[in-house]
Amino acid sequence: MSNLNNTITEEFQCTVKENDYFNKNILEQLAKLQEVSAKLNKTVIRACTYCGCIEINANNKLYSYDGDINLDMIKLLDPHHISGDLCEDCKDLIEKNIGSCLYYLACISNSFDLKLNEVLLKEMNKINILGKFNIE
């Protein structure tokens, strides 16, 4: 990860810490993260159902593991299950909801004196090491 990304992540976490007056309780932070995560889910669903700017092919047969197909083949077959493009309204809402999730993740990290940048680096290293076996 570049120094620029480190700086942005650290600056974001510091900005959250300096401007967060109402989310100091870890239980509230956890509840708010769950709430904004649910809003993100709802926004994606509404983009498909209410707005209609995207369509989601929920058939996951192509994603399921078949013993005859190795994981590299599944990656190559990866069909884009979302068709269409987000309209500006849906895109703005999804970005806002992802930002809210990041905000509460920063709050939780601050409560435990964890550095988001280190969390990201550890996760990235795990992904790089485990590769296709990075399944939780």
Nearer to Zn ion, 50 or 63 (CB): 50
Token pair belonging to 132: 């296709």
Nearer to Zn ion by C-beta: 88 or 136? 88
Residue 69 φ then ψ, to 5°: -110, 125
Query: Does 51 sit near Zn ion (CB under 5 A)?
Result: yes
Check binding of 120 to Zn ion (CB under 5 A). no
17-21: which pairs have CB atoms within 8 A and are 24 or more residues apart?
17/106, 17/110, 20/107, 20/110
- Partners of 54 in beta bridges: 84
Choose which of 16, 33, 44, 90 interacts with Zn ion (CB under 5 A).
90
Backbone angles phi, psi at 83, to 5 degrees: -115, 155
- Of 30, 40, 82, 87, the one binding Zn ion (CB under 5 A) is 87
If the CB atoms of residues 42 and 122 are measured against Zn ion, the closer one turns out to be: 42
Binding site for Zn ion (CB under 5 A): 47, 51, 53, 87, 90
